[in-house]
Amino acid sequence: MGVLRESIAEAMQAKVNESPSIKSKMDDVAEAVAAVKRDLIGELPKMRRAGLTDVSDLAVSVNSVKPVSEPL
């Protein structure tokens, strides 16, 4: 992320919209994030949590349903 931040700052100072080097660095960062998700986070063991689940900001919406003319 630091490399990407530096390249974007350099492009802004040079008044360049999008250079190929910035685009390639953005692609590298996206690939690195995907690798972390796949290889690191995906391989961690599942863990059970103890305690209550906070649903204080839970919102439930009810949609109207139109009856089907023919049963399935």
**What pLDDT is stored for residue 18 in this prediction?**
65
What is the C-alpha separation between 42 and 62, in angstroms, rounded?
34
Domain ranges of the chain: 2-41
**What pLDDT is stored for residue 35 in this prediction?**
83
**What pLDDT is stored for residue 63 in this prediction?**
79
12 vs 32: which has the higher pLDDT: 32
What is the C-alpha separation between 7 and 19, in angstroms, rounded?
9
* Tens digit of each residue's pLDDT (9 = 90 or more) over 36-72: 888 888 788 888 888 888 888 888 888 777 777 776 6
